[in-house]
Each structure stands twice: as structure tokens, then as C-alpha cells.
Chains A and B, each alone.
Chain A
């Protein structure tokens, strides 16, 4: 159980275009989903936290107008990178939490590698 999927697994796009990444919890309802970014040989950096049906909370330094997050249902959250530039090339990972339980554990998706040309 507790499987999280992401789509696409990798994407290459031209500079200036927008890219949408989907994160789905397949066998549980995720009250909270998280979006992380990881540059090569660096750790995961939290970008934003989203709760179903409400606006996402962005971390300091993350532009909310550039990284649009929608969490319309308990099983789906989307991250749209608008007007992507080469510096946005990174590994984007989502995680989902049921919001309850002893560990209140986050289950991670397999990640999406974005390359902006």
C-alpha cells in the first residue's frame, strides 16, 4: 500500500513553455501533498505544501506565480512550471501524507526529471 505515482517521469521542453507534472496517491487519500526540488548532488528542498481544496503554502524564495500548484482532489495534485527556463531544470519529487498515524509518514513519488533547453 501507500503508492504514489508521478507523471511524466521525464520531460524535455523548450525555454518559455509550461510543463505540468501530476502526482497521484493510488491507494490512499492524501490530505496533504508536498512538492520538492532536487538539484544534482544536493538534497531535497521543499517548494510548497498543499492541502486538498485550499491554496498551497510556498516556502520562502519559491515564486508562487511560476510554480502553480493545484490540489483539487484527495488523490491528485499538479505542479505547473510556467515559462520554464534552463535554470528550472531539476528533479521534481512529490510526496503524499494521510495526515494521521504514528509517523504521519510521507510517501514519495518516483520523481519527474525536467530538462529545459
Chain B
């Protein structure tokens, strides 16, 4: 089975930076995804890492260390609309995604 851990909740101030960590133990690792999910809506794709290192995409960056089974999602210049749940998902073999429980980020003014 897959074991994916991420913090349950985080709170930050508008304009600040927040880092959401994700650790995983899995067999057949084939990539790690980060998704954003607003309440009652489907997840939307944020980032994808399959090789070690940092992927930057505007205000969002994601990092992966395969040897450590560790990833983080970095959200910069936080905006109120960034309040959402952030899901770490590991792809196993060619296609299956296993999701973490999600981290609820609350952005305060």
C-alpha cells in the first residue's frame, strides 16, 4: 500500500509564503502531483515532479527528493483565493494516483 503524510492544516497571512510538506512511502513510484481543491469542487492540477529538484511555476513551486520520499509545495505571495485544500498525490506504476489526506490552508488578511 501507499503511505502519504501531509499536515492537516496551515494558516498564513496574505502576502506571506507557506510551505506544505509531503512524505511518502510507496512502491512503484512514478511521479508526484500537487492539486488544489476548493470545498465542494474537483481537484485542479498545480504541479508535477518526477525527477529530483525544484519545479517553479509562477507563485507556486514544488520540490521532490526521491531518495528521501519527500516533496513540498511552496506558495508565495499568498492571496485570499489561495485558501483551499492542497493534495499531494503519488503516481504508482503507470497510472494510479494515491492521494494524501490534504492540507487545508487558510489565508488571513
Contact = CB atoms under 8 A, between A and B. Distances in A.
Contacts of A45: 99
A105 B100 CA distance: 17
A106 to B, nearest CB: 6
Question: What is the interface of chain B mostly: helix, strand, loop, or mixed?
Answer: strand
Interface stretch (B65-73, B74-82, B89-97): B89-97
Contacts of B99: 43-45
B28 interface: no
Interface of A: 32, 34, 42-46, 49, 91, 93, 97, 99, 103-111, 113
A9 to B, nearest CB: 10
Nearest to A113: B40
B40 A42 contact: no
Nearest to A103: B48
B96 A46 contact: yes
A45 B87 CA distance: 12
A110 B41 contact: yes
Contact of B44 (A32, A42, A49, A108): A108
A6 B36 CA distance: 19
